[in-house]
Structure 1
Amino acid sequence: MLSPADITVIAPHFKRRLSGVTSTVIQLVPAQSRHGRGIATLGPGLPDHLPKMRWRQLPALWRAPKGAPVRVWHARRNNEMLFGIVLRDVFRMPLKLLFTSAAQRRHTGYTRWLISKMDAVVATSARSGSFLLVPHTVIRHGVDTELFHPGEDVSDTIAATGLPGRHLVGCFGRVRHQKGTDLFVRAMIELLPEFPDWTAVISGRVTAEHQGFADRLKADIAAAGLSSRIVFLGEVDDIKPWYRRLSLYVAPSRNEGFGLTPLESMASGTAAVTSDAGAYAEMIVENATGKVVPAGNYEALRDAIRVYLASPAAAEEAGRVSRQHVLDNFALENEVGGLEKVYDRLLGHDKATP
Structure 2
Amino acid sequence: MDLDPARLLLKPRQTGESESSPMLIAHLIHRLDIGGLEKVVADLVNHLPHDRFDHAVISLTEITAFKERLHHPRVTFHALGKQRGQDPAVWWRYWKLLRQLKPDLVHACNLATLEAAIPTRLAGVKRFIHAEHGRDSHDPDGTRRKYLLLRRFLIPWVDGFVPVSRDLHDWMLHTVHIPPEKIHPIVNGVRLPPVPNRSRPGTDPNRPFTIGHVGRQWPIKDPLNLIEAFFQLRRSYPETPLRLILVGDGPERPAIEARIAEYRLADTVHLAGWQNDVTPFWERFDLFVLPSRAEGTPLTILEAMAHALPVVATRVGGVGDLVVDGQTGRLVPRSDPCALADAIGEYLFDPARRAMHGAAGRERVAARFSQERMIAAYLALFLGVSVTKDQEF
1:198 lines up with 2:238 in the alignment: no
**Distance in 1 separating the partners of 2:211 and 2:386:** 50
In structure 2, the partner of 1:81 is 114
1:127 match: secondary structure: helix
Which stretch of the first structure deviates more once superposed, 96-105 or 189-198? 189-198
1:99 match: secondary structure: strand
1:141 lines up with 2:188 in the alignment: yes
1:241 lines up with 2:285 in the alignment: no
**Distance in 2 separating the partners of 1:54 and 1:198:** 43
Question: Percent identical across equivalent pairs?
Answer: 21
In structure 1, the partner of 2:41 is 25
In structure 2, the partner of 1:277 is 316
Structure 1 consecutive aligned stretches of length 4 or more whose deviation exceeds 6 Å: 351-354
Question: Could you tell me whether the CA contact under 8 Å between 1:101 and 1:123 is conserved in 2?
Answer: yes
Match of 2:76 among 53, 57, 73: 53
Amino acid of the structure 2 residue aligned with 1:81: L
1:113 lines up with 2:153 in the alignment: yes
After superposition, the C-alpha distances for 1:180-237 in whole angstroms (9 at most, x for unaligned) are: 2112112212213516243211121133xx3441232221332xxx322222112222
Question: Could you tell me whether the CA contact under 8 Å between 1:61 and 1:94 is conserved in 2?
Answer: no
After superposition, the C-alpha distances for 1:44-98 in whole angstroms (9 at most, x for unaligned) are: 2342352322559744544x7xxxxxx1211003343333431322x2x233000
- Deviation of 1:143 after TM superposition, in Å, equals 1.0
Matches within 5 A, 1:264-343: 264-343=303-382
In structure 1, the partner of 2:58 is 42
- Deviation of 1:158 after TM superposition, in Å, equals 8.4
In structure 1, the partner of 2:263 is 221
**Distance in 2 separating the partners of 1:174 and 1:49:** 18
Question: Could you tell me whether the CA contact under 8 Å between 1:165 and 1:196 is conserved in 2?
Answer: no
In structure 1, the partner of 2:84 is none
**Distance in 2 separating the partners of 1:301 and 1:291:** 9
Question: Could you tell me whether the CA contact under 8 Å between 2:30 and 2:113 is conserved in 1?
Answer: yes
1:101 lines up with 2:137 in the alignment: no
Q: How many residues align?
A: 327
- Deviation of 1:353 after TM superposition, in Å, equals 10
- Deviation of 1:249 after TM superposition, in Å, equals 0.2
C-alpha RMSD of the superposition: 3.0
After superposition, the C-alpha distances for 1:137-190 in whole angstroms (9 at most, x for unaligned) are: 2111111224xx4324xxx6589xx99524311122122432121121122122
1:202 match: secondary structure: strand
> Residues 206, 103 of structure 1: CA spacing in aligned structure 2 closer, same or farther, 3 A cutoff?
closer
**Distance in 2 separating the partners of 1:306 and 1:352:** 43
After superposition, the C-alpha distances for 1:102-154 in whole angstroms (9 at most, x for unaligned) are: 335326122333344201111111110111121202111111224xx4324xx
After superposition, the C-alpha distances for 1:275-311 in whole angstroms (9 at most, x for unaligned) are: 0112111101121110111112222211111101121
TM-score, length of structure 1 as denominator length: 0.82
Match of 2:210 among 145, 154, 168: 168
**Distance in 2 separating the partners of 1:254 and 1:293:** 11
Question: Could you tell me whether the CA contact under 8 Å between 2:161 and 2:184 is conserved in 1?
Answer: yes
In structure 2, the partner of 1:7 is 23
Give unpaired runs (5+ residues) of structure 2.
Answer: 1-18, 79-95, 136-140
**Distance in 1 separating the partners of 2:190 and 2:25:** 20
Question: Could you tell me whether the CA contact under 8 Å between 1:221 and 1:230 is conserved in 2?
Answer: no
1:72 lines up with 2:105 in the alignment: yes
**Distance in 1 separating the partners of 2:39 and 2:209:** 27
1:130 match: secondary structure: helix
In structure 1, the partner of 2:225 is 183
**Distance in 1 separating the partners of 2:266 and 2:205:** 11
